[in-house]
Amino acid sequence: RKEVEQDPGPFNVPEGATVAFNCTYSNSASQSFFWYRQDCRKEPKLLMSVYSSGNEDGRFTAQLNRASQYISLLIRDSKLSDSATYLCVVNRWEYGNKLVFGAGTILRVKS
């Protein structure tokens, strides 16, 4: 079983739609949580950190449920430019702070 699991999609949605992605992680020692965005053949870029209290950045809302080991990302009012792969990432503060990535969820926003 992979340490971080995501639905690969693709999610095909019309512009203006609301879409939600989920992710589960298996290591309860995970301590930091993130969503990264990766455009085709580009490097991953940090979209937002995820906190238990939930956090919002414009049209994006992220939520963490430590008890269920579950992370979510909600995108409201989808734009064509939101089309990308969204990577769920966890980090353990053991030696190294190496990021552990899920395989990603593909989002395609269509006009």
Partner 1 sequence: DTGVSQNPRHKITKRGQNVTFRCDPISEHNRLYWYRQTLGQGPEFLTYFQNEAQLEKSRLLSDRFSAERPKGSFSTLEIQRTEQGDSAMYLCASSLAADADTQYFGPGTRLTVL
Binding region for partner 1 (CB under 8 A): 4, 8, 32, 34, 41-46, 49, 87, 89, 91, 95-104
Nearer to partner 1, 19 or 87 (CB): 87
Instruction: State in angstroms the smallest separation of the CB of 31 from partner 1.
Output: 9
Instruction: State in angstroms the smallest separation of the CB of 17 from partner 1.
Output: 25
Q: How many C-alpha atoms does 73 have within 13 Å on its Cβ side?
A: 29
Q: State the Cα–Cα distance between residues 71 and 89, nearest whole angstrom.
A: 9
**Nearest alpha carbon to residue 74 among 63, 85, 66:** 63
Name every residue whose Cβ is closer than 8 Å to that of residue 56 and which is 6 or more positions away in sequence. 62
Nearer to partner 1, 9 or 76 (CB): 9
Contact assessment for residue 51 and residue 28, using Cβ atoms and an 8 Å cutoff: no
Nearer to partner 1, 19 or 48 (CB): 48
Instruction: State in angstroms the smallest separation of the CB of 22 from partner 1.
Output: 15
